[in-house]
Structure 1
Amino acid sequence: MTHTTLISAFDQPNASLAEDQALLPTVVAGVEATGQLLLQRFENRPEFKTRDDVVAAIDANDDAALTLLRPALLQARPQAGWVEDELESGLLPGGEWWITDPVEGNVNHIHGMTDWGVTATLVRDNVPVLTVVHLPLLGTTYTAVQGGGAFQDGVALRASAKDDLDGALVGTGQARPGESSDTFRRIGLSVTAMLGSALVLKVAVPATLQLIHVAAGRMDVFWQFSAVRSGLLAGALLTAEAGGTVTDTRGQPWTLDSGDFLASAPGLHSAAINVLLTVR
């Protein structure tokens, strides 16, 4: 099966490119300052006995991070709205909105694991136009502005040049606890299907920390059967600006209203879709 190239929101001209690029250093500063706060909290890992203990620690991390991140972003862009629930999906009202995950990979952070960071994405009329992802443990920051490229610490990112799925490193993951049984079923079926097609498969959370690798050409394909905005927007913009392909799992243009998500090296996009189309 072949798939035609479809025009998506990422391909539209950014009339505010210069303004967004001028805003970027302020956003980077706010996100990196939040990361330093979380780095201090990472050194004091709590102990857990119950799910309630885990949830309380996650909430405490979010609350602490937002004391720095929210005022920094709202001061930088006062006209932008703020999405309170980081697990929300779907289209937003028109205008500008900040979509953040103040502790992306929070469950990893509280358990003393290293896959976590801070993300902030500015969305304009339902299109991500600016994003910052900071990984405090590595001292690394990823940035992208729509129409201006994607970068890791100022070095341009480029998606993988692979064109054969049997040599690809691919990945997926769970967007949030409590997904539907059908979503869990589809995740399982897709993992089995990809294990028979790709070289190596990774299943992990959070999505953003796999998507930055797709943008950087270190991974080749990532898909997710969910539409949680905060886990996909940053990586979607980074991947698109690095020359990757971002659609839903059927190859249609991805939007905030899409039910699932696929980001890949351009040479593997059709092959990845062909595998995922077997999942019903």
Structure 2
Amino acid sequence: MHPMLTIAIRAARNAGDIILRASEHVSHIQIDNKEQHDFVTEIDRQAEHEIIKNIRTAFPDHAILAEESGRHEGNEYTWIIDPLDGTTNFLHGFPHYAVSIALKHKNRLEVGVIYLPLTNELFTAARGEGAMLNNRRIRVTKQASLAGALIGTGFPFKAQQQQYLDAYLNMFKAVCVNTSGIRRTGSAAIDLAFLAMGRLDGFWEVDLKSWDIAAGIIIVQEAGGVVTDLSFNDQYLESGNIIAGNPKMHQLMYQLINPHVTDNLQ
């Protein structure tokens, strides 16, 4: 196994243990508002601290970009961390939240891990080595038409995202009327993991953060999927805008979504 993937798995599982123990007494957890509709808990911070400790022990010179503590300077390797993707779900006992860890070397994603502590599902990928779910190889679906396709998404619900809402709702309508259904788990990391192993046929969302999607992107790619931004380019980590699916489904979704892309979503 890729040595950096081994460290990412260990860090994700250790963080998942913290989250799982905390899920038994959510009512006692301290909650802070980062901004409207955006929460952080002491569990987010504890899980992030555990991940960073594991990474720093193995690779003290690597840079880190973490949701809660921001950027930690280092060399050309950067770990991109979301310690608890789906914090609102976690606080409500809604069983969809995950640990997401990716490694980027210069401008290329190399390793991705998404761990769902409640179900003990571990999604992993290393560049050129394929994608796995609990050591079983996974692939995106072969769905070749919009009819019958199940698509994942997330809503632009935060205050600063309201500028995208009209364009997004137009995209939503176009996808909704042409497919068999749309699902929202409340975690982009989980949506991408589910896409990689065939529970979803496609996924799109706007204005995400790099830690929401970095691990999921390489897992989808290694599972045979295609990922672009809304302009069919590879600036998804910079823009936070993403379309993903198997090669045919990605193309079909792009054709539905692209007419509704506005200047501020390029």
**For this structure pair, what is the TM-score category when the shorter chain's length is used for normalisation?**
0.7 to 0.9
TM-score after normalising by structure 2: 0.88
Where does residue 245 of structure 1 map in the other structure?
A: 226
| Gap change, CA 1:84 and 1:243, over 3 Å in 2 | closer
Matched, 1:82 2:61: no
1:204-226, Cα deviation, whole Å (9 max, x unpaired)? 41111111111112211101111
| Gap change, CA 1:85 and 1:147, over 3 Å in 2 | same
| TM-superposed deviation, 1:97 | 0.9
In 2, Cα distance between equivalents of 1:191 and 1:143: 29
Q: SS of the counterpart of 2:237?
A: coil
In 2, Cα distance between equivalents of 1:231 and 1:68: 18
Where does residue 257 of structure 2 map in the other structure?
A: 276
In 2, Cα distance between equivalents of 1:34 and 1:231: 16
Contact 1:161 1:265 survives alignment (8 Å): yes
In 1, Cα distance between equivalents of 2:208 and 2:252: 22
Matched, 1:28 2:36: no
The equivalent position to 2:155 in structure 1, one of 174, 178, 203, is 174
In 2, Cα distance between equivalents of 1:185 and 1:116: 27
In 2, Cα distance between equivalents of 1:204 and 1:214: 12
Q: SS of the counterpart of 1:277?
A: helix
Unaligned 5+ segments in structure 1 are 1-17
In 1, Cα distance between equivalents of 2:254 and 2:37: 35
Q: SS of the counterpart of 1:223?
A: strand
Q: SS of the counterpart of 1:27?
A: helix
1:107-141, Cα deviation, whole Å (9 max, x unpaired)? 11111111011111111112211111111111111
TM-score after normalising by structure 1: 0.84
Which is worse superposed, 105-114 or 35-44? 105-114
Amino acid at match of 2:96: D
In 2, Cα distance between equivalents of 1:176 and 1:228: 14
Q: SS of the counterpart of 2:84?
A: strand
1:189-228 residue pairs with structure 2 within 5 A? 189-228=170-209
Structure with the bigger RCO (C-alpha within 8 Å, sep 6+) is 1
In 2, Cα distance between equivalents of 1:175 and 1:143: 27
Which is worse superposed, 247-256 or 217-226? 247-256
Where does residue 6 of structure 1 map in the other structure?
A: none
Contact 1:31 1:133 survives alignment (8 Å): yes
Unaligned 5+ segments in structure 2 are none
Contact 1:94 1:124 survives alignment (8 Å): no
Q: SS of the counterpart of 1:179?
A: helix
Which is worse superposed, 156-165 or 260-269? 260-269
The equivalent position to 2:21 in structure 1, one of 35, 40, 64, is 40
1:73-152 residue pairs with structure 2 within 5 A? 73-85=55-67, 95-152=76-133
Q: SS of the counterpart of 2:259?
A: coil
1:236-260, Cα deviation, whole Å (9 max, x unpaired)? 1010000011111232234423451
Contact 2:81 2:211 survives alignment (8 Å): yes
| Gap change, CA 1:96 and 1:115, over 3 Å in 2 | same
In 1, Cα distance between equivalents of 2:200 and 2:69: 25
Which is worse superposed, 182-191 or 163-172? 182-191
1:63-99, Cα deviation, whole Å (9 max, x unpaired)? 22123111001212222111244598xxx99711111
Contact 2:32 2:41 survives alignment (8 Å): no
Amino acid at match of 1:59: T
| Gap change, CA 1:248 and 1:52, over 3 Å in 2 | closer
In 2, Cα distance between equivalents of 1:176 and 1:75: 37
Where does residue 58 of structure 1 map in the other structure?
A: 40
In 1, Cα distance between equivalents of 2:253 and 2:169: 16
| TM-superposed deviation, 1:55 | 8.1
The equivalent position to 1:68 in structure 2, one of 41, 50, 53, is 50
